[in-house]
Every structure is written in C-alpha cells, then in structure tokens.
Structure 1
C-alpha cells in the first residue's frame, strides 16, 4: 500500500537525475548493518485509522503472543511498525497464528529483509483459515480442500491432516490479497454435471466492508457509503455478518476409527503368535 508521502518521496528520488552533485555529496558512505535490527524482525502495516502508539501496541500484543523473550516496537510512520525479536521461534509463532488485528482492524505482517527500505515494502497479503461449507460428505477430502483453496489464493499446506477437516466442512489456510474483494463462495461441479454452491467462511476475520467486500476498511469508511452521504439501504449490502466463521476447536476430533470384534480378535491372536509388535 503506497501513501501520498511515499509517492512524494519517489518523485524526489527520480528528480535527482536532473541535479549535479556537489563535492560534499559525491563521497560514498559505507554503512554497517545491525544484525539485531533485521535477523528476527517483522514489519507490520496497521489498517486502522487511529493514531498509533508503540508502547500501547507492545502492551496489546504481549499477552497475545506470549513470546519467550523480549521484543522491541519501533514506529516507522505511515501506520507501519517494526517488531524486533530475540529469537526465531518468537517470530515464527507470531506468523503461524495470523491473522492479528488491532482496534478491530487487520495488521499485515511480513518478515523484514535486510537492506530493504521500509517505504518499498508491499503489504498486500494476509493468511486466513477458510472454511468451505455445503459439500457432500463423499467430497470432504484433502484433495477437494486444496483444489478449492487454490481458487482463492496461494494455499499454505499443512502437514496435519486433522486440521483440514471440521466435521461437515473443510478448512485450509490461504494467503488472501487484501486489494481484492473477499470471495464469498464458489460453484463446484460434481458427478453427472450437478453443481453445488460452496459457501466460504473466514476464521479470525476482523472488520471488513459490507458494501464492497474489502478488508482494508469497514463499511462506515467505504467510498461508496461516503459518496451516498449515508442514504444507501443496508439491505442492499452484498456482504454481511455470515462471512466470519465461529472459533474452531482444534482439540475436538471429528472422525475416529472404531475396530470391530473380529479385527480385535485377529489382532490379539497375531500378538499371541508374536507377529504383532506393541
């Protein structure tokens, strides 16, 4: 996301080609990189309109992140903060549990790459756990999850298959572009040309716009609403509160395998013969 300040800075940098440097401007300066500032650092873009305070942000995220070691928060302006951690594990823990929000608005995180100016960072992706509702039972498979997930964005594959099953729905983690409208669902083709509508629900989604379906602002700050001066009928909103998914219980098993009596007897006899190891 590029603001007016960033555009002005780029214009100034492009204008240097027209200038002649003075004697004091010619010598190069070799800078020493600070490993602590970049090795375990995350840059974050806050989508809230509120004025940010680094100390308040640190107090907010400390009990949520539960980091093993301390971390620093630095305000870079333009609603961008840089978090510097002491360990790699704390960085990975923050990223694994995205998305995060502040003031009920999304915070977009990315690893800071050494040598990259802050104003050049592009904050346009956020990982969501998506739920797919409305599929027949015989299509609740890992393959179906990945196929539908790829329709929304780049799938983040999970090694734990139990996370992909939510009872009567599927779920998968996907990187979603915030510059595009939220996908509410998709028609999928089944056997014999039959189609079903698969409804999408987003876990841990904060404020989003009920008018245009973007997560970059809420409905009260939407240009469509502001231009209308508040006279639009909310019954015409194409997005609504059904899009967020309820909290998912990771510890609850939705599928178990129960052995029959013959299976148990067969296993017991094999164990008695020494063919089964325990």
Structure 2
C-alpha cells in the first residue's frame, strides 16, 4: 500500500507555477533542524482505535520527561516525539520496546528530508530470552549466532556469563516486522 503511494507520488508532474521555490531563512532552518534532530517518529502496531490523549499522558508519565517531551500527532496514527536532550531520546530507544494495551510502539529516528508519507517501520527492538540451552552453549558467541538467526543483534546481556545463576541468555535484536516470529529451534 505504501509502495503504491510512493509510485503515484513519483509520477506527479509539477507545473512551472507550482515549481516556484519559496525561501526559508537559514536561521529558522537551523533551529527547525536542531529540534527535529532530537525527535523520534512512532506508530502503534494496531488497526484498532485507541485514545490518543491517554496514550500521550501515559508515555509522558512512564518516560518521566514532563515538559521535556512534546508529542505531535502527525496523522494516520503517526506521532513525532520531540525531546529536549539527546540522552532522553537515547533512553527511550534503549529501554523499549514500549506498548499500550498490548499494541507495540515502533520507533525510528528522524532523518533529514523525511516526510510523514515516507516514514516506514521495518523492525522493532526486542529482548528475547533463550532457556534450556546445554551448558556448553551458554556463551556470548552462541548468543550472537542465535540472535542473528532471528534478526540483527543489537546487544547481548553479558551479566549471565559472570553471574552465579545461568538459567537463560538474553539478546536484544531488531525483529523484522515483515516476518513471523518462530518458536522453537533457531537454525
């Protein structure tokens, strides 16, 4: 569906009058770019309606950012989360995944030139646990190999390898949204 829209957008011809350029003053442009550079774009993976006012209040409370966070409804279920500090933005990314009423929130960092119509979410970061491994497979290398079988490995929880309890391994991976999650063996 998004591909059809992009194709139609690329076929649009601009008349000479429509092609006139409007100038944006450099001082404004710099401020706008700076503000956007501290933002994430997000969407809940659901087709069911939800109360956006409640979602905004909940995220502000859970993320504990108060007035340091501005949530802008861009339309079509897309939000822009504007942060005051880079550390706040990174905290939200690193401590996810986030959800509301069992609907995951997919996030991606703003990029220059990005428009609401062209924002595509391809992955969601997820911590996975692998239980019941043989003792000889409780290693960082095995964790990385198993994680790669599911998606792109972001981080491995190494505390298991120095802890006095070794029941499972934890791996943070970027799960592709277009592939089903498989239970059982990783091959």
TM-score in same-fold range (> 0.5): yes
Secondary structure of the corresponding residue to residue 84 of structure 1: strand
Deviation at 1:74, TM superposition (A): 0.9
Deviation at 1:156, TM superposition (A): 0.7
Larger Rg: 1 or 2? 1
Aligned match for 2:12, one of 16, 39, 64: 16
Aligned match for 1:93, one of 84, 91, 94: 91
**Cα 1:75–1:138 shift into 2, 3 Å:** same
1:161 aligned residue = 158
Contact 1:69/1:87, CA 8 A, preserved across alignment: no
Supply the distance in 1 between the matched residues of 2:147 and 2:42 (Cα, whole angstroms). 25
Bigger relative contact order (CA 8 A; separation at least 6): 2
Aligned match for 2:82, one of 77, 81, 84: 84
Deviation at 1:98, TM superposition (A): 1.1
Structure with the larger strand share: 2
Aligned match for 2:114, one of 83, 101, 116: 116
Please list every run of at least 4 consecutive aligned residues from structure 1 whose deviation after the TM superposition is greater than 6 angstroms.
Answer: none
Aligned match for 2:22, one of 7, 21, 29: 29
Structure 1 segments unaligned to the other structure (5+ residues)? 189-278
**Cα 1:8–1:157 shift into 2, 3 Å:** closer
Secondary structure of the corresponding residue to residue 63 of structure 1: helix
1:186 aligned residue = 185
Contact 1:46/1:105, CA 8 A, preserved across alignment: yes
Secondary structure of the corresponding residue to residue 152 of structure 1: coil
**Cα 1:122–1:8 shift into 2, 3 Å:** closer
Supply the distance in 2 between the matched residues of 1:81 and 1:176 (Cα, whole angstroms). 21
Deviation at 1:84, TM superposition (A): 0.5
Deviation at 1:69, TM superposition (A): 5.4
Matched, 1:43 2:36: no
Supply the distance in 2 between the matched residues of 1:121 and 1:114 (Cα, whole angstroms). 12
CA RMSD of aligned residues (A): 2.5
1:104 aligned residue = 102
2:173 aligned residue = 174
Supply the distance in 1 between the matched residues of 2:75 and 2:67 (Cα, whole angstroms). 25
Deviation at 1:39, TM superposition (A): 1.7
Supply the distance in 2 between the matched residues of 1:10 and 1:29 (Cα, whole angstroms). 25
Structure 2 segments unaligned to the other structure (5+ residues)? none
1:196 aligned residue = none
1:133 aligned residue = 131
Contact 2:147/2:171, CA 8 A, preserved across alignment: yes
1:206-242: CA deviations, max 9, x gaps?
xxxxxxxxxxxxxxxxxxxxxxxxxxxxxxxxxxxxx
**Cα 1:9–1:175 shift into 2, 3 Å:** closer
